Structure 1
Amino acid sequence: MQRFEGKVALVTAGAQGIGAAVVRRIAAEGGSVVITDLQQDKIEALATELADSAGDVIAVPLDVTVREQVDAAVAATIERFGRLDVLVNNAGGCIVSTVPEDTTDEGWHRQLDLTLVGAARCIQASLPHLVKSHGNVVTISSVNGLAAFGNIEYAAAKAGQIAMSQNFAARYGSLGVRFNVVAPATIRTPVWDHQPQALDNLKGLYPLARIGEPEDIAAAVAFLASPDAAWITGHTLPVDGGVLTGPGLLDLTPSGPFRKDYPTD
């Protein structure tokens, strides 16, 4: 499929993990991609890796908490390609590790500034160009924004992304701009590199009996950003291995498994 042929996407936090998988997916489908991240060496290496892809791929350093850098990244996109069709808001993370009752105002501000306000800055800078191209925004939120999985400050920021996207969708739909959200559950990204056992221990929470991969999220992003989702806006798509359905593979009955086991060969 070449769903992004002739299109230009800007991906934040594209150096590794979910962001890098999204970059690879859009480039593989013919799109030109502006990879942004704080880790300049990694985005330049990724751009070099994808030099032979169907679309052009460039690397632009970006800290989404600095408005001047956000504006400059969008300007660099327009200077290079003359258009912007897709914004993928992937920058964010759980940066507050204190007990929530003890979180300082500074901690709250840092979390919200990176995850929620950072996404808003990118949308604001991109909007004039997305209106021209009838483009769209896909924001990477989290199941933490949909249910109580802990990390309260992070969850609040992720829930804010969902509410913000719904409001932008209602406000700009008549101008042809779509806003959607992907909400991942546990994904095998570098943040888990030093906790492989913890990652494996989480498998039992998931009805699909595995941890998600960055490519699972990239596939969902590519769908929502493509013409295949032309009549979808203001929605949040959980990509969660079924964790939001409830207790996963736990035995729910006192007498035995709650499902019939079938041969898997």
Structure 2
Amino acid sequence: MYLEKLKLDGRVAVVTGAGQGIGAACARALGEAGATVVVADMRQERVDACVAELAGLGIAAHGLALDVTQSAAVDAAAADVVARFGRVDILVNNAGVAVSDVRAEDTSDSHWRHHMDVNVDGLFWCCRAFGRRMLEQGSGAIVNIGSMSGFIVNKPQPQSFYNASKAAVHHLTRSLAAEWGARGVRVNAVAPTYIKTPLTSFGIKENPDMYKVWLEMTPMGRVGQPDEIASVVHFLASDASSLMTGSIVVADGGYTCW
């Protein structure tokens, strides 16, 4: 009974920013659970590489070049997915940016807008477009990738723009969950710690002093791996979490305990 709830056979899952890191891990996790996976990323070469890798594992995968900041393109993508597969059951909003270590007083308009365009606006365009399809069919699960930075202020790197964008993701998650819960669509989020991906390379690979602080601030004494977040996403996308909506699941190695 319980293992059956984790299976995703017959479901169609869309993962944004799926070309690398957490997104690629989520695509594989959902595919291994039985879902047909739509790999969406703004860079075609990443899409192609991820689709090829999934296909090599026997996972049904379809590629989609998508810039989530373009609302019309997102609407077209949702229409394309439903036309191709007849439905959409899962949306993982993973596409995001983090160009950190910029002080608030030095943050340009363009730097602020870049983070809001991708992390907040793009996420909402996807929730709106794919959420409409889920509401029409009366079922669906959306999982947003937030951050522990939506709860705390990181140190030593200044990144007020990023922190604000992820706090917005968390509250948007709760707002959509409240609006759509009675109509069969669940909306949850994962709030990760530092994960070993290209987005965190500025600290892990390039700034040993910063990385030292990150580890000292984390009770488990390490950064996370993409598959550790993908496992939580899989749970939230599956029937194993059927009573959960509006939840922000913190996966931070204990970082926010202190």
TM-score, structure 1 length as denominator?
A: 0.87
Aligned to 1:24: 28
Aligned to 1:157: 165
Are residues 1:130 and 2:142 paired? no
1:128: Cα distance to partner? 2.0
TM-score, structure 2 length as denominator?
A: 0.89
Say which of 176, 186, 202 aligns to 1:168: 176
Aligned to 2:146: 141
CA–CA distance in structure 2, aligned partners of residues 133 and 174 of structure 1: 9
Are residues 1:217 and 2:225 paired? no
1:31: Cα distance to partner? 0.5
1:160: Cα distance to partner? 0.3
Aligned to 2:123: 119
Relative distance call for 1:208 and 1:243 in structure 2 (3 A) is: same
Relative distance call for 1:128 and 1:56 in structure 2 (3 A) is: same
1:74-89 aligned at under 5 Å gives the runs: 74-89=78-93
Q: Give, as a single letter, the amino acid of the residue that structure 2 aligns with 1:218.
A: A
1:50: Cα distance to partner? 1.4
1:75: Cα distance to partner? 1.9
User: For residues 197-218 of structure 1, what are the alpha-carbon distances to aligned partners after superposition, in whole Å with 9 as ceiling and x for unaligned?
Assistant: 6385232322112210000100
1:81-120 aligned at under 5 Å gives the runs: 81-95=85-99, 98-120=102-124
Relative distance call for 1:168 and 1:25 in structure 2 (3 A) is: same
Aligned residues: 246
Say which of 162, 183, 188 aligns to 1:180: 188
CA contact (8 A) 2:193 2:255 kept: yes
Aligned to 2:45: 41
1:95: Cα distance to partner? 3.5
1:133: Cα distance to partner? 4.7
Aligned-residue CA RMSD (Å): 1.8
CA contact (8 A) 2:144 2:189 kept: yes
CA–CA distance in structure 2, aligned partners of residues 185 and 50 of structure 1: 26
1:106: Cα distance to partner? 3.1
CA contact (8 A) 1:67 1:121 kept: yes
Q: Give, as a single letter, the amino acid of the residue that structure 1 aligns with 2:80.
A: A
CA contact (8 A) 1:12 1:19 kept: yes
Relative distance call for 1:104 and 1:203 in structure 2 (3 A) is: closer
Gaps of 5+ in 1: 247-265
Aligned to 1:252: none
Structure number with greater CO (CA < 8 Å, separation at least 6) is: 2
Q: Report which of the two has the higher share of helix.
A: 2
1:193: Cα distance to partner? 4.4
Aligned to 2:249: 237
**Which secondary structure state, in structure 2, belongs to the residue aligned with residue 188 of structure 1?**
coil
CA–CA distance in structure 2, aligned partners of residues 25 and 111 of structure 1: 27
Q: Which deviates further from its counterpart, 88-97 or 114-123? A: 88-97
CA contact (8 A) 1:30 1:53 kept: no
**Bigger Rg, structure 1 or 2:** 1
Q: Which deviates further from its counterpart, 52-61 or 35-44? A: 52-61
User: For residues 164-190 of structure 1, what are the alpha-carbon distances to aligned partners after superposition, in whole Å with 9 as ceiling and x for unaligned?
Assistant: 110110011000111101000110012
User: For residues 81-139 of structure 1, what are the alpha-carbon distances to aligned partners after superposition, in whole Å with 9 as ceiling and x for unaligned?
Assistant: 11100110111112365321232333322221111011000011111221215101100
1:188-227 aligned at under 5 Å gives the runs: 188-193=196-201, 195-196=204-205, 198=208, 201=212, 202-227=214-239
Q: Give, as a single letter, the amino acid of the residue that structure 2 aligns with 1:245.
A: C
**Which secondary structure state, in structure 2, belongs to the residue aligned with residue 224 of structure 1?**
helix
